[in-house]
Amino acid sequence: MKLTKEPDHDWATKAQTVWERKSGLREYYHIQIFDRIVSEIITGTVLQLGTGPGFFARYHSGMINSDITLYDQVDTVADVHSLPFKDACFDNVVGVDVLHHFARPGDAMKECARILRPGGRVILVEPWAGWMGRHFFKYIHHEDCANVEDPWSNAFPGTKKPMEGNAAIPAIVFHERVHELPKYVPDLHFLKKWHFGSLSFLLTGGMQEIGLPAPIIRFFYRLEGLLPQAVMGFIALRALFVLEKRHHHRG
């Protein structure tokens, strides 16, 4: 993937304008996404992948924020497939909507494992292509949602654009084919998966101009929080994934 240090100010500025205008979107991300990630972070250093306009960077200070493009909140330009950090130098690697953009998720997760200390965590929030999610992401959302033959090593056959995404990838690698994780990323083991965000997520309108205000969004995400995970697995559009670096014991 080609890196650039030239910021796409137009995209970042538009995203920031929408963010500031929409109370429902901000509350949803703060409570349903950012707080979930923060609750899983262990004590120590944190690297954020895919910082973008810096919404999470501003919400949770003290992280090293990386991206393939140098936006205002980005500390370092980096490609997740070859991170410019030494071994075992972070305690957490976090990201929001990044995995489904990785050209080679297996290599990316290996790099995350390499820079983590034993017991360190990878914490990701991603699209969830369950029963409802597959229909939404395939027919309504702007990104692809399709099966791929080799999701670990070649998730985007052909030329990969940096912003190109496939919403099916998180469910494929961390659900349908999670049994292959030890083969591709032996230093990580799967710790947690949590489905959330159905109608509440839709009603925010995302980065579109439309969207309902915070009190209505709050009502729906609290209602969804009462549903069992077995139900949310069918209707959720988002998921939290937590992986942990193994402790290697000698002898």
pLDDT at residue 100 in the model: 97
pLDDT at residue 6 in the model: 43
- Which parts of the chain have pLDDT scores under 50? 1-7, 251
**Domains and their CATH numbers in the chain:** 9-245 (3.40.50.150)
Q: What does pTM read for this prediction?
A: 0.94
pLDDT in tens, 189-206: 999 999 999 999 999 999
Q: Work out the end-to-end distance of the chain between its first and last CA atoms, rounded to an integer number of angstroms.
A: 41
pLDDT at residue 88 in the model: 98
pLDDT at residue 163 in the model: 83
Distance CA 114, CA 151 (A): 20
SS (H, E, C) 59-118: HCCCCEEEECCCCCCCCEECECCECCCCCCCEEEEEEECCHHHCCCHHHHHHHHHHHEEE
pLDDT in tens, 210-223: 999 999 999 999 99
Residue 97 near residue 170, CB atoms below 8 Å: no
Residue 155 CB coordination number (10 Å): 25
